A and B are shown apart, each in its own frame.
Chain A
Amino acid sequence: MESRFLPLFIAVPLAGAFLVPLLSKIWSRFADLIAGIANTVLLVVSVYTWLILRAGGVPLHYWVGGWKVIGIAMWFDALTALVVLVINIVGFCAMLYSIRYLDRYTTGRWKFYTLFLLLIAGLNGLAISGDLFNMFVFIEISAIASYALVAFGTEEEEVEAAFKYMVLGEVGGAVLLFGIALLYAHTSTLNLATLSQALATNGKTPFYWFVIATLLIGFAIKMGMEPFHAWLADAHFSAPAPISALLSGVFIKVTGVYGMCRLMFNVFGVSRAETPAFFNLLIAFGAVSMVLGGLLAYSQNDYKRLLAYSSISQIGYILVALGIGNYWGFVGALFHILAHALGKGTLFLASGSVEMQAGTRELDHLKGLERSMPFTSWAHILGSFSMAGVPPFAGFFSKLFIIIGAISARMYWLAFLAALFSAVTLSYLTKVVNVAFFAKKNEEPVRAKEAPATMVLAMVLLVALILIVGLGFQGVLNHLIGPAAKVLMNGLDYARLMLGG
């Protein structure tokens, strides 16, 4: 079904990004206004498009310039719907949060919003693009915006982290481009659907595996998978809090996991039955990320650094769940993308307001914040529960589905490992809660005020969504996650639907 709403996902944030530097010369607060309008419109459009998708039942498509098949395709199916909703919900909350958070920085409000909107535009563009080279371009747009945003504070460590992140990220981008060049040399097409058909006729030659390996390395760097994780902790640690929330909650999952899923499952058409090697590889790297990320998080003393390592661990969960390769595994992976985006978003936002109000984020110096900052503290505590998999929060169901998937695939050790590291997650997050938010009787709590209203509102929104997703998991499963998992299950239907529709 053709939908004329799809280009808006790119046009709205880009228009915002171009208007912010122009209009903020007149009045600096236009920057907030434009970013707010753009993000609200995006949120409304993504929910509305999802409802159209629900009502119609067939994926939505759009050909740029009206050039069918030879032009650039935009594609909106259940998987895209999930990713776009995650991007725009977390993006909206981060934007709301930034309004007051940016008071910490003396200048450059408009620069922040321009880059922020470019980041959102890149992520949305990647999600709805149906063209390989366009996916690359959007990955790079969002990546470049994120490098600059990590360095936004221009303190020593921020610039250093950004440089490190940039070197690794750009090598990843170059490897991705190399893989795309190989694919183009082989098939002479870049549209994902025709690419998928061309690859299906070629069979699984060594070349096929070489291309898969090249692309996997590129995406692995982008998602911060274990051997390539070096940039992630520093970048998430140094970025402004709303950007940490976006990077950790959305960026690594959209550019890394979503990009990989789209290419591997929908274009290359890998499936557990035919190519078990690929899935075992995912499980291996996922398990290593899960274990090492969890253990590294345990030993951190800095609040944000702990959360960053925790993200590596959670990416490991998603990879393991994808590697299981059956329906519940996919459901678990996608549910975890949603739950982790909301949960980690809350935690990073909470860490930002703690840092802003208490002036430090060293766990040694934080005590008893619960009394002075009740909203932030409880947002953090509920977010931690969700991340650790305590029922009835969203995180519980994602881990439950992963474990169900592992058991039904007869990988009992994997189910055990997932459950074990859920407990590890709980323990390191409890450490933060115990140390920072509660104080022993004889200790003097740190003096701090509650964060400004919009910041609290952003956190409360995310926590409310965590609760809604957790309590209404049946509905979320039936209407959002289930169809998306089916897109991954029946990977090669993608080409049929796009070219037939």
Chain B
Amino acid sequence: MRGMSLIVQVMAGLLAGILFLYGGYIMLHGHLTPGGGFAGGVLIAAALILVSLAYGSVEQVERRRYILSSVFESLGGAFFLALALAGYFAADCFFRNTGVFYLGKPLQLVSGGLIPLANIAIGMKVGAGLFAIFLALGASRFVMKE
């Protein structure tokens, strides 16, 4: 994939960090404000896509990114399942929240027990998954041939 012009690269470099941070914010505040894992994950994927579109990359890098994002995606899924199973083994109940996770006080960042953790898991899965989809579609000539 070829990169874009200097103007785009500079702007993308400025924006990508902010986008990434905002995605993280949306993800971590998912239990307090609108948003959550999916919206945050999409923003994070958008930041990654922006960078790789603006700066371009070569085949090896692209393939490594694809493998890395598919690993992260699987880890996110496994993490989510582990959260569900934690309740299952600790309190005999799938997705049990009370009594298993630290609930904290309502309306604070560290609260909600399972929910913020689940948001992080979903954010990982969605962010990495979307980026992998982008790579597979946009760079199909590299990835699909493996």
A4, A15, A22, A66 pick with most chain B CB within 10 angstroms: A66
Considering only CB atoms, which chain A residue lies closest to B76 in the complex? A18
Nearest chain B CB to A335's CB is how many angstroms away? 33
Q: Which of B84, B85, B96, B146 contacts A66 (CB 8 A)?
A: B96
Q: Which residues of A contact B95 (CB under 8 A)?
A: 64-65
Query: Quick check: A18 and B94 within 8 Å, CB to CB?
Result: no
Measured CA separation A19–B71 after assembly (Å): 10
Tell me if A392 counts as interface (CB < 8 A to partner B). Answer: no
Q: Which residues of B contact A25 (CB under 8 A)?
A: 67, 71
Query: Quick check: B77 and A7 within 8 Å, CB to CB?
Result: no
Tell me if A14 counts as interface (CB < 8 A to partner B). Answer: yes
Query: Quick check: B78 and A15 within 8 Å, CB to CB?
Result: yes
Considering only CB atoms, which chain B residue lies closest to A12 in the complex? B81
**Binary contact readout A1-36 vs B (1 if CB under 8 angstroms, 0 otherwise):** 000100100010011011101100100000000000
Given contacts A22-B74, A22-B75, contact A7 B94 (CB under 8 A): yes
Measured CA separation A17–B80 after assembly (Å): 13
Considering only CB atoms, which chain A residue lies closest to B70 in the complex? A21
Q: Which residues of B contact A15 (CB under 8 A)?
A: 78, 81
Tell me if A107 counts as interface (CB < 8 A to partner B). Answer: yes
Q: Which residues of A contact B74 (CB under 8 A)?
A: 18-19, 21-22
Q: Which residues of A contact B75 (CB under 8 A)?
A: 22
Measured CA separation A25–B73 after assembly (Å): 14
Tell me if A279 counts as interface (CB < 8 A to partner B). Answer: no
Query: Quick check: B92 and A18 within 8 Å, CB to CB?
Result: no
Given contacts A11-B84, A21-B70, contact A4 B78 (CB under 8 A): no
Tell me if A133 counts as interface (CB < 8 A to partner B). Answer: no
Q: Which residues of B contact A65 (CB under 8 A)?
A: 87, 93-97
**Binary contact readout B81-110 vs A (1 if CB under 8 angstroms, 0 otherwise):** 100110110011111110000000000000
Tell me if A62 counts as interface (CB < 8 A to partner B). Answer: yes
Q: Which residues of A contact B93 (CB under 8 A)?
A: 64-66
Q: Which residues of B contact A17 (CB under 8 A)?
A: 77
Nearest chain B CB to A185's CB is how many angstroms away? 23
Measured CA separation A116–B23 after assembly (Å): 32
Considering only CB atoms, which chain A residue lies closest to B73 in the complex? A21
Measured CA separation A64–B146 after assembly (Å): 40
Nearest chain A CB to B93's CB is how many angstroms away? 5
Query: Quick check: A18 and B96 within 8 Å, CB to CB?
Result: no
Considering only CB atoms, which chain B residue lies closest to A17 in the complex? B77
Nearest chain B CB to A320's CB is how many angstroms away? 39
Q: Which residues of B contact A64 (CB under 8 A)?
A: 93-95
Query: Quick check: B88 and A18 within 8 Å, CB to CB?
Result: no
Q: Which residues of A contact B73 (CB under 8 A)?
A: 21
Measured CA separation A247–B134 after assembly (Å): 29
Considering only CB atoms, which chain A residue lies closest to B98 in the complex? A66
**Which A residues between 342 and 381 are near B, CB-CB below 8 angstroms?**
none
Q: Which residues of A contact B96 (CB under 8 A)?
A: 65-66
Query: Quick check: A18 and B97 within 8 Å, CB to CB?
Result: no
Query: Quick check: B71 and A11 within 8 Å, CB to CB?
Result: no
**Which A residues between 60 and 96 are near B, CB-CB below 8 angstroms?**
62, 64-66
**Binary contact readout B50-72 vs A (1 if CB under 8 angstroms, 0 otherwise):** 00000000000000000100110
**Binary contact readout B10-44 vs A (1 if CB under 8 angstroms, 0 otherwise):** 00000000000000000000000000000000000
Measured CA separation A14–B88 after assembly (Å): 15
Nearest chain B CB to A109's CB is how many angstroms away? 12
Given contacts A65-B94, A66-B93, A66-B96, contact A11 B81 (CB under 8 A): yes
Nearest chain B CB to A28's CB is how many angstroms away? 12
Query: Quick check: B78 and A22 within 8 Å, CB to CB?
Result: yes
Considering only CB atoms, which chain B residue lies closest to A2 in the complex? B92
Considering only CB atoms, which chain B residue lies closest to A63 in the complex? B93
Q: Which residues of A contact B87 (CB under 8 A)?
A: 65
Considering only CB atoms, which chain A residue lies closest to B67 in the complex? A25
**Binary contact readout A265-303 vs B (1 if CB under 8 angstroms, 0 otherwise):** 000000000000000000000000000000000000000
**Which A residues between 386 and 411 are near B, CB-CB below 8 angstroms?**
none
Query: Quick check: B92 and A4 within 8 Å, CB to CB?
Result: yes
**Which A residues between 232 and 283 are near B, CB-CB below 8 angstroms?**
none
Q: Which residues of B contact A4 (CB under 8 A)?
A: 88, 92
Given contacts A62-B94, A107-B146, contact A18 B81 (CB under 8 A): yes
Query: Quick check: A18 and B67 within 8 Å, CB to CB?
Result: no
Q: Which of A7, A19, A21, A107 contacts B88 (CB 8 A)?
A: A7
B71, B75, B78, B87 pick with most chain A CB within 10 angstroms: B78
Considering only CB atoms, which chain B residue lies closest to A24 in the complex? B74
Query: Quick check: A18 and B77 within 8 Å, CB to CB?
Result: yes
Considering only CB atoms, which chain B residue lies closest to A19 in the complex? B78
Measured CA separation A229–B29 after assembly (Å): 47
Nearest chain B CB to A87's CB is how many angstroms away? 20
Measured CA separation A22–B74 after assembly (Å): 6
Binding site for B on A (CB under 8 A): 4, 7, 11, 14-15, 17-19, 21-22, 25, 62, 64-66, 107, 154
Give 5 pairs: A residue, B residue, CB < 8 Å, sorted on A. Answer: A22-B71, A22-B75, A25-B67, A25-B71, A64-B95
- A21-B71, A22-B78 are known contacts; what are 12 more A-B pairs with Cβ within 8 Å? A11-B81, A11-B85, A14-B77, A14-B81, A18-B74, A18-B78, A21-B74, A22-B71, A22-B75, A62-B94, A64-B93, A65-B87
